[in-house]
Structure 1
Amino acid sequence: MNWDLATPFVIDLSVGADDIDGLGHANNAVYVTWLERCAWRHSQRLGLDLSEYRRLDRAMAVVRHEIDYLAAAYENDELQLGTWIVESDQKLKMTRRFQLMRPRDGATLLRAHTTFCCIELSSGKPKRMPPEFIDGYGPAVLRLA
C-alpha cells in the first residue's frame, strides 16, 4: 500500500449494502463512522478505551473534521483505513490524519484531518489531558520532518 505517511494504524473495512446511498456508492456519512471506528480502535490499542475515559472523567472529543472525498467506494469493496496522530499539544488538542485506500487498485478514496479536544466527561468542558493521555497518545505522535 502506498500510505501517505509511515507506519499507519490500519483497520480493514468491507462496504455493505447498508452503506450504499441513492447514487450507488458509499454514503459520505458512512465515511465519518469509519473514521470514528478507526480512531477508537487505535485509542484502544494505546490502552485508552471508553472505560479508561470514564475512569479518568476525560475524553478526546471531535471539534473539527476536514475530509477530502477523492473517489467512490462501492458495495463489496474491501478497504483499508489508516490513521496517524500527527500533532498533540499534550494539553488540550490532538490531530489525527486518515487515509482510506482500496487495495484492489491502490486507489486513495479519502484523506481527512480530525482535531480533537480533551474534555471533562462530567461537565463537557475542555480540560487538560491527564497524564494517562499524554503517556498513551504521546508516543504515538508521528514525528513529521
Structure 2
Amino acid sequence: MSWDRPGAFVIDLTVEAMHIDELGHANNAVYVSWLERSAWEHSRSLGLDLGDYRRLDRAMAVLRHEIDYLAAAYLGERLQLATWIVDSDRRLKMKRRFQLLRPMDGTTLLRAETTFVCIELSSGKPKRMPLEFIEGYGRALS
C-alpha cells in the first residue's frame, strides 16, 4: 500500500448496499461514519475505550472535519482506511489524519483531517486531557 505516512493503523471495509446512494456510489456521509469507526478502533487498540471515557468523565469530541473526496467507492469494493495521530497539544486538542485506499488499484479515495477537543462528559465543556489520554494517544503520535 502507498500510505501517506508510516505507522498507519488500518481497518478493512467493504462497500455494502446500505452505503450506496442515488448516484450509485458510497454516500459521503458513510465516509464520515468510517472515519469515526477507524478512530474508535484505533483508540481501543491504544487501551482507551468508551468505558475509560466514562470512568474518566472525559472524551475526545470532534471539533472540525476537513475531508477531500478524491474518488468514488462502489458496491462490493474492498477498501482500507488508515489513521494516524499527527498532533496533540497534550492539553485540549488532538489531530488525526485519514487516508482511504482501494487496494485493487491503489487509488486513494479520500484524505481527511479531524481536530478533536477534550471535553468533560458530564458538562460537555472543554477540559484538560487526563494523563491516560496524554499517554495513550501520545504513544501513537507520528
Structure-1-length-normalised TM-score: 0.98
Aligned partner of residue 82 in structure 2, secondary structure: strand
State the one-letter code of the partner of 1:119.
I
Aligned partner of residue 4 in structure 2, secondary structure: coil
Q: Give the whole-Å Cα distance in 1 for the aligned partners of 2:84 and 2:138.
A: 12
Kindly state the Cα deviation for residue 7 of structure 1 after the two structures are TM-superposed.
1.4
Q: Give the whole-Å Cα distance in 1 for the aligned partners of 2:52 and 2:7.
A: 25
Q: Give the whole-Å Cα distance in 1 for the aligned partners of 2:69 and 2:25.
A: 12
Match of 1:38 in 2: 38
Q: Give the whole-Å Cα distance in 2 for the aligned partners of 1:7 and 1:132.
A: 21
Matched, 1:61 2:67: no
Match of 2:101 in 1: 101
Structure 1 runs (4+) greater than 6 angstroms displaced: none
Kindly state the Cα deviation for residue 39 of structure 1 after the two structures are TM-superposed.
0.2
Kindly state the Cα deviation for residue 122 of structure 1 after the two structures are TM-superposed.
0.2
Match of 1:122 in 2: 122
Structure-2-length-normalised TM-score: 1.00
Q: Give the whole-Å Cα distance in 2 for the aligned partners of 1:7 and 1:129.
A: 24
RMSD: 0.3
Match of 2:140 in 1: 140
Kindly state the Cα deviation for residue 139 of structure 1 after the two structures are TM-superposed.
1.5
- What is the count of residue pairs matched by the alignment? 142
Q: Give the whole-Å Cα distance in 1 for the aligned partners of 2:65 and 2:95.
A: 10
Q: Give the whole-Å Cα distance in 2 for the aligned partners of 1:51 and 1:111.
A: 29
Gaps of 5+ in 2: none
Cα deviation per residue 1:46-83 (whole Å; 9 max; x = unaligned)? 01000000000000000000000000000000000000
